[in-house]
């Protein structure tokens, strides 16, 4: 039975899992879950995961949540090329270090900027207050600075000469605020050069395929503007907004 991946490609962790599964030629069934309509809060998805977040992997009766755990599961189950998640203790630890750091840094900050610039104005009919927006952008800039200075330094990729899961997860996250028209690469030549290398390794076709829906942020905003936010998401988003 083919592996099932429950995904919505508007989500960064879903895009990481999707892109990696495609790159590694892992056969899977794409189980689309529409986060914008709150499908993850429905009865059907509740049987798959009570956490109600994507992505989710289902391998027979085995269900796994958390994108980084899913990526590590795929690497091990399909014995993918070593560079993705090196067997070398310290190189692997570098990948793990980034995968642990990103959740509350680039991913969280990029996501906030995405909501503030790309979605909330359409939903609420108002721009996010300047000081809130400035603070969100400052957090994102700080994360990107740390990414360059601590994780990338002068190496082609995070662990050295070869692309790993860490680079894949990082580029996908960095594209989230970029989808709102924010050029985070401007004035960052090292980050731009790294992005080009990562994109080349992934393949421009697959990269664009994975990012198509998020690049169409106007359509997502319109969906929310027409239908409102799913109830369960609304309170959390409003907290972020206020």
Ligand X SMILES: N[C@@H](CCC(=O)N[C@@H](CS)C(=O)NCC(=O)O)C(=O)O
* Site residues (vs ligand X, CB under 6 A): 11-13, 35, 40, 53-55, 66-68, 103, 232-233
Rg of the chain taking only CA atoms, in angstroms: 18
**Least CB distance to ligand X at residue 1 (A):** 23
- Smaller CB distance to ligand X: residue 22 or 53? 53
Euclidean distance between CA atoms 132 and 139, whole angstroms: 11
Cβ atoms of residues 65 and 51 within 8 Å: yes
- DSSP secondary structure string, 166-205? HHHHHHHHHHHHHTTT--TTTT-HHHHHHHHHHHHHH-HH
Euclidean distance between CA atoms 225 and 176, whole angstroms: 20
Burial of 164: CB neighbours in 10 Å, binned 0-12, 13-18, 19+:
buried
**Least CB distance to ligand X at residue 236 (A):** 7
Cβ atoms of residues 2 and 195 within 8 Å: no
Cβ contacts of 208 within 8 Å, gap of 6 or more: none
Peptide bond into 135 cis (omega under 30): no
**Least CB distance to ligand X at residue 233 (A):** 5
- Smaller CB distance to ligand X: residue 66 or 82? 66
Cβ contacts of 51 within 8 Å, gap of 6 or more: 65
**Least CB distance to ligand X at residue 18 (A):** 12
- Smaller CB distance to ligand X: residue 127 or 216? 216
**Least CB distance to ligand X at residue 76 (A):** 18
- Smaller CB distance to ligand X: residue 54 or 166? 54
- Smaller CB distance to ligand X: residue 13 or 177? 13
**Least CB distance to ligand X at residue 192 (A):** 25
- Smaller CB distance to ligand X: residue 122 or 240? 240
């Amino acid at each position: 039975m083919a592996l099932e991946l429950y995904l919505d490609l508007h989500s960064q962790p879903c895009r990481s899992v999707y892109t990696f599964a495609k790159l590694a030629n892992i056969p899977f069934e794409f189980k689309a879950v529409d986060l914008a309509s709150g499908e993850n809060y429905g009865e059907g998805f509740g049987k798959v995961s009570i956490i109600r977040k994507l992505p989710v992997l289902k391998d027979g009766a085995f269900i796994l949540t958390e994108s980084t755990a899913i990526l590590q599961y795929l690497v091990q189950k399909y014995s993918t090329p070593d560079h993705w998640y090196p067997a070398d203790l310290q190189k692997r630890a570098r990948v793990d270090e980034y995968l642990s750091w990103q959740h509350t840094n680039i991913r969280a900050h990029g996501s906030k900027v995405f909501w503030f610039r790309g979605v909330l104005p359409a939903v609420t009919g108002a721009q996010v207050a300047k000081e809130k927006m400035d603070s969100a952008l400052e957090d994102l800039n700080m994360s990107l600075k740390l990414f360059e200075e601590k994780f990338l330094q002068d190496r082609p990729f995070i662990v050295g000469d070869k692309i790993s899961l860490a680079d894949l997860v990082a580029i996908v996250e960095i594209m989230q605020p970029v989808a709102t028209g924010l050029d985070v690469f401007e004035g960052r030549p090292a980050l731009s050069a790294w992005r080009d290398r990562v994109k080349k390794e992934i393949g421009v076709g697959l990269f664009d395929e994975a990012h198509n829906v998020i690049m169409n942020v106007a359509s997502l905003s319109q969906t929310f503007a027409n239908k409102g936010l799913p109830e369960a998401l609304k309170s959390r988003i409003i907290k972020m907004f206020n």
